[in-house]
Structure 1
Amino acid sequence: MEDLHGKKAIVTGAAQGLGLAMVEGLCEYGVKVCIIDISPNLQQVIEELRHKGYEVEGVYGDLSQLDQLTGIFTKSMDLLDGKLDILVNNAGIHKPMPAVDLPVEDFQRIIDVNVTAVFQICRLAASRMKQRGKIINIASVLATQGGFNASAYSTSKGAVAQLTKSLSNEWAKEGINVNAIAPGYYNTELNRFILNDEERFASLVNRIPAGRFGNPEELAGTVQFLASNKSDYINGVMIPVDGGFLGR
């Protein structure tokens, strides 16, 4: 992926898990990345990445505070010297709970972070990409599956999939590719409640043709591909990286 060298990227929610793996995947090919995250460990993560020789910056930001998104984005752009080639909207939250018990305030917060913030950051990014750029939204296999105790999360990820299609229709002619990735089940903190539930974990593994949960680094290749010139004629798709889960 020589064409990625020297590019600039923003990755949200990347202080751990899948987001961190995606950052490392981009940095391996010479991309300078600014991480936006709410994690108190953000600075430590940045220092660890820099120790590996990567060019990484960070902005602390709470994407549920919609009125702060423009300021957070502007800070990120300043750290990237005003240039943006790649945006990865990875930040997302989930509150596994029966629908009848989920407070409507929590449902709304999940929509704010997982959908509305993605919409706004996409718009801010597109205005700065200057006729060429790559936007990668992180959806989920629950964009098409209902999930269990995931009414808000599955709703939000379905919205991300549709938003990706709609934005691609508007911006493809401007040289901005908008696509999505649908991760399946991975060994991450977000799935800790499943990993700790022996019965549910076993039932999910039995459904995944690969016979296991994925490791975060296994998502990096798809991000590298969608961020590169090799994907220039791909627009509005959602690529599952799920060990075969959706094909079962």
Structure 2
Amino acid sequence: MSMASSFNLEGRRVLVTGANTGIGQGICLAIGRAGGSVIGVGRSAMDETAAGMSALGAPFKAVHCDLSDHKAAQAMLDDTWSGPGPLDGLVNNAGIIRRQDAAEFSEENWDDVIDVNLKSTFFLCQAFARLALAEKREGRIVNVASVLSFQGGIRVASYTASKHGVLGITRALACEWAPQGINVNAIAPGYVVTNNTEALRADADRSASILARIPAGRWGTPDDIGDTAVFLLAPASAYMHGATIAVDGGWLAR
């Protein structure tokens, strides 16, 4: 297999959640550049992502779904599979964050984050695998974890718990499904310029302290994460199961 073809996604259909902005948008565009087609899922309009995909000449279909409702998320995946046809990959990127001191952390801020970041991620993985296993199809699942899958973070208890959970289910599902040809891996982004990190970047002191600790000397971009997702969706990563790749400018190595 040539180097070019092992990173090629031509003919592959991938469902990407949280596709409207930030990391999700970066992943969609990277898949498009690699020759794949994308079903983008989100609560809000995905016009910007659709325009970017169109400019690449890459197929893109927007599907609206509230991923805080895991039953709706599963039904959406089932419908997508039975409609246009089977999926080759699933990228669980959708995620939300709530910031509050742990001593005051509300049950609502706990449940909202766990429902989207962990519960729906697991049940989307399950829905994808059930269909792939029934048809004896190989498949790729890429979960978006975080450097907070390895660290505690500050004032983000439910987010940290959810991302530790994403790392755990990535490993657990890989152990079960690797023998059937379903690769389950994850990406742990560091500090990336997105809506979720807007509050950090707006805080001059916090922003400066974060930047000072990143060996690469810059915040990450959605493209940095998108290219890693392509690798995990492509033939190049065929022997990878249960791995979580940090794409963090060296943050965890520091």
Deviation at 1:78, TM superposition (A): 4.5
Deviation at 1:71, TM superposition (A): 2.1
Deviation at 1:210, TM superposition (A): 0.8
Q: Give matches, 1:103-122, under 5 Å.
A: 103-122=106-125
For 2:69, the equivalent position in structure 1 comes to 65
Work out whether 1:76 is the aligned partner of 2:74: no
Alpha-carbon displacement from aligned partner over 1:138-195 (angstroms, at most 9, x marks no partner): 0000001100111000100000000000000000000010000000001111100000
For 1:93, the equivalent position in structure 2 comes to 96
CA distance in 2, matches of 1:193, 1:76: 35
Letter in 2 for 1:109: D
- Does the C-alpha gap of structure 1 residues 9 and 68 become closer, same or farther in structure 2, counting only changes over 3 Å? same
2:152 match: secondary structure? coil
CA distance in 1, matches of 2:47, 2:214: 36
CA distance in 2, matches of 1:186, 1:9: 23
Deviation at 1:43, TM superposition (A): 4.2
Percent identity for Structure 1 against Structure 2? 37
TM-score computed with the length of structure 2 as normaliser: 0.93
Pick from 199, 202, 210: which aligns with 1:196? 202
Deviation at 1:211, TM superposition (A): 1.3
Letter in 2 for 1:120: F
Pick from 28, 44, 55: which aligns with 2:33? 28
Q: Which runs of 5+ in 1 are unaligned?
A: none
Letter in 2 for 1:108: D
**Is the 1:214–1:243 Cα contact (8 Å) retained in structure 2?**
yes
CA distance in 1, matches of 2:15, 2:244: 20
Letter in 2 for 1:53: G
Alignment RMSD (CA, Å): 1.4
CA distance in 1, matches of 2:41, 2:105: 27
- Does the C-alpha gap of structure 1 residues 106 and 8 become closer, same or farther in structure 2, counting only changes over 3 Å? same
For 1:151, the equivalent position in structure 2 comes to 157
Work out whether 1:137 is the aligned partner of 2:143: yes
Alpha-carbon displacement from aligned partner over 1:43-97 (angstroms, at most 9, x marks no partner): 4532442243110001100111123122221333245x22111110000000111
TM-score computed with the length of structure 1 as normaliser: 0.95
CA distance in 2, matches of 1:52, 1:32: 11
Deviation at 1:109, TM superposition (A): 1.4
Pick from 177, 184, 187: which aligns with 1:178? 184
CA distance in 1, matches of 2:196, 2:101: 17
For 1:45, the equivalent position in structure 2 comes to 49
**Is the 1:85–1:134 Cα contact (8 Å) retained in structure 2?**
yes
CA distance in 2, matches of 1:109, 1:82: 31
**Is the 1:84–1:128 Cα contact (8 Å) retained in structure 2?**
no
Pick from 216, 229, 241: which aligns with 1:235? 241
**Is the 2:33–2:56 Cα contact (8 Å) retained in structure 1?**
no
Q: Which runs of 5+ in 2 are unaligned?
A: none
- Does the C-alpha gap of structure 1 residues 75 and 131 become closer, same or farther in structure 2, counting only changes over 3 Å? closer
Letter in 2 for 1:172: A
